[in-house]
Structure 1
Amino acid sequence: MRQSRIAPCASSLLLAAACTLAGPATVEAAPSTAATGYVALGDSYSSGVGAGSYFTSDADCRRSSRAYPVLWAAAHAPSSFSFTACNGARTTDVMADQLGPLSRRTGLVSITVGGSDSSFAKVMALCVLPGQTACLSAIAAADSFVDGSLPGRLDRLYSAITSRAPAARVVVLGYPHFYQLHGTCSIGLRDTERSALNAAVDHLNSVIARGAIHHGFTFADARSAFAGHEICSSSPWLRSVDPLDLVESYHPTAPGQSLGYLPLLSGAV
């Protein structure tokens, strides 16, 4: 998916009017040598896909005013805030299109990345089709990629972040389980497939966490933040599968951003 080099910006003092078509990519406060700026990188889980209220300056990225980075910036008033996370972003896309705002003045970086590299969108598309074979085969292929190729991609990206923003605290947020097993869902995927998808998330998170810790970053586990609020729970914070809109499917809702990811980031900083 195309990545935008022009990111919407949010003033922490007036979020409602923060992202306009003419707004610059980064809003700088008074000159300061302190590393107090915030840059939000990553994929759809950071851009806010599924939460609605998308900024119109770049429709492909589906950056939402309800995404946790925007909410965190509004609550904490960083000296600058750059929101470059984009729907579908892989590690290579973050490297190519999102690192521009990083500098020695960056004090905080947040990121979710790895799911798009591992073709989770393709996995989901196959798993909604009838039959288990294609679903389970796609999950196995994703696991193989996570073991073989993803660690090197994450290492290169994490090294680039450190090089550009040496003073920043970097918080790598993981992905939640998709399903509560034996839950309230009476139709859709069977528990065999739901369990396999959750196990794939566990596998992905473990590789992401190892890479983050190796680079001295903080890993924040979204599985604990979303526990009890998966699809098929009584109060889900994730959008259920919709064969007619797979982009929105399996993504956090607005409550998932504000009650799941926002406290997760706040607790890690």
Structure 2
Amino acid sequence: MGAKPCIPVEVTVRFPRSVLRSALVTAVAAATAIGLAAPASAATGRYVALGDSYSSGTGAGSYGSSGSCKRSANSYPQLWANANAPSSFAFVACSGAQTSNVLNSQISAVTSSTALVTISIGGNDAGFADVMITCNTSSDAECVRRNQEAQDFARTTLPGRLNNVYTQIRSRAPYARVVVLGYPHIYHLNGYCWGGLSETKRAAINQSSDVLASVISGRAGAYGFTYIDARRTFDGHEICAAGTRWINSVTWPMDESYHPNASGQRGGYYNPLEAVA
């Protein structure tokens, strides 16, 4: 014969309210101790500046002993660190960096004690240095073609590369404020330039900045990061603008061409960063 089936019996146990209240308080306190405590203030915790030449400050001068990375004393990361005195400051952004360089040689600076991370990245992945060379040495049609090629890359391949970087940042510093800084328009169209690139080339280059902004802001938003749209913060200060220009035209050394100068680092990047961090 089979065993008699077990019949479940529901038992209700009543605890005094004082006991329940005490248990709830203990549970909440324990959860907070495990990891729900508020993160350190960005202005007092560790600050890590990641990224490429737009973050290192290439084009703004005063590079000290940073070598080919060209980390400028006039760059927005250094200006923010000077003004806010974080508990520690790791300035690892480097001229020429792509997403792979951030993952291979920069991301280790981000730790669990990090309160603020800033980054500009993606332009070199999409080949915009080559875009500018092509537009300065080739026809309108070839410049437009090269920009379209870069834009296609930005739409299709760059999102996955940004995801890899942003995932690592969030994993290493789950409570840090992360600010992603975009790229400005290089040119003010129909502006005050005589000679140089044609308006067709300038428009194609600016369109590439628009595509980058759309892709980068979209991925940053998906991770809950703050995005600073440099097209807006540099507005009126591009090459060919009537106002004070914050972006170098063709200059020497050549790698500093089409990069923010010291005024651009301060007005276009540092000031808006100070407003959000």
Q: CA deviation at 1:259?
A: 1.4
Partner deviation per Cα, 1:215-261 (whole Å, 9 max, x = no partner):
1111111111101000011311000124x643111100000011111
Structure-2 residue corresponding to 1:178: 186
Q: Which amino acid aligns with 1:129?
A: T
Q: Which runs of 5+ in 2 are unaligned?
A: 1-38
Which of 126, 141, 147 is matched with 2:149 structurally? 141
CA distance in 2 between counterparts of 1:199 and 1:131 reads 17
CA distance in 2 between counterparts of 1:133 and 1:220 reads 32
Q: State whether residues 41 and 112 of structure 1, in contact with CA within 8 Å, keep that contact through their aligned partners in structure 2.
A: yes
Q: State whether residues 128 and 241 of structure 1, in contact with CA within 8 Å, keep that contact through their aligned partners in structure 2.
A: no
Q: Does 1:48 align with 2:48?
A: no
Q: Which amino acid aligns with 1:85?
A: A
TM-score for the superposition, normalised by structure 1: 0.85
CA distance in 1 between counterparts of 2:92 and 2:177 reads 17
Give SS of 2:202's match: helix
CA distance in 2 between counterparts of 1:142 and 1:264 reads 28
Give SS of 1:237's match: coil
Partner deviation per Cα, 1:80-122 (whole Å, 9 max, x = no partner):
1000000010011001100122111100000000000010000
Partner deviation per Cα, 1:16-36 (whole Å, 9 max, x = no partner):
xxxxxxxxxxxxxxxxx9461
Give SS of 2:89's match: strand
Q: State whether residues 213 and 219 of structure 1, in contact with CA within 8 Å, keep that contact through their aligned partners in structure 2.
A: yes
Give SS of 1:156's match: helix
Q: CA deviation at 1:130?
A: 4.1
Q: Does 1:225 align with 2:225?
A: no
Structure-1 residue corresponding to 2:48: 39
Give SS of 1:66's match: coil
Q: Does 1:215 align with 2:223?
A: yes
Q: Does 1:110 align with 2:118?
A: yes
Q: State whether residues 49 and 64 of structure 1, in contact with CA within 8 Å, keep that contact through their aligned partners in structure 2.
A: yes
CA distance in 2 between counterparts of 1:259 and 1:154 reads 26
Which of 140, 161, 165 is matched with 2:173 structurally? 165
Which of 91, 107, 122 is matched with 1:99 structurally? 107
Q: State whether residues 125 and 246 of structure 1, in contact with CA within 8 Å, keep that contact through their aligned partners in structure 2.
A: no
TM-score for the superposition, normalised by structure 2: 0.82
Aligned pairs (5 A) from 1:231-242:
231-234=239-242, 235-242=244-251
* Identity value in percent: 50
Give SS of 1:100's match: helix
Partner deviation per Cα, 1:182-217 (whole Å, 9 max, x = no partner):
111101001111011111100011000000000111
CA distance in 2 between counterparts of 1:156 and 1:130 reads 34
